[in-house]
Amino acid sequence: AQKITQTQPGMFVQEKEAVTLDCTYDTSDQSYGLFWYKQPSSGEMIFLIYQGSYDEQNATEGRYSLNFQKARKSANLVISASQLGDSAMYFCAMREARSGGSNYKLTFGKGTLLTVNP
């Protein structure tokens, strides 16, 4: 089973509108971190936002917010007031804190390609 599922291969949004990118995850750990990265066509993976599993409040970082629903195992990224420069690939990732196994690994989803239209 996939650990990180991003069901939207591609999304379109009008400039200045908000958009939600979906991410669901699968883990049996109680302690884990969830991350979102942006990858423009240039290739660099840019860190956007993270959420710890014990954080009670949803993370926010400027125009980015993470809609964390622990019971549903979802960690959707919300981008408000989209800009043309937001057009990129967006990846959801998870780091688990299990003992006895790899706790360095970030597991990535397959990504969602966001296109912002003028």
Partner 1 sequence: ETGVTQTPRHLVMGMTNKKSLKCEQHLGHNAMYWYKQSAKKPLELMFVYSLEERVENNSVPSRFSPECPNSSHLFLHLHTLQPEDSALYLCASSLLGGTSWDTQYFGPGTRLTVL
Please give the size of the binding site for partner 1, defined by CB under 8 A: 23
User: Which one of 66, 77, 91, 114 is in contact with partner 1 (CB under 8 A)?
Assistant: 91
35 binds partner 1 (CB under 8 A): yes
How far apart CA 83 and CA 75 sit, in angstroms, is: 22
Q: Which of residues 1-20 bind partner 1 (CB under 8 A)?
A: 4
Answer for the pair 11, 113: CB distance below 8 angstroms, yes or no: yes
Q: How far is CA 78 from CA 86, 90, 103, in A?
A: 12, 11, 27
82 binds partner 1 (CB under 8 A): no
Shortest Å, Cβ 48 to partner 1: 10
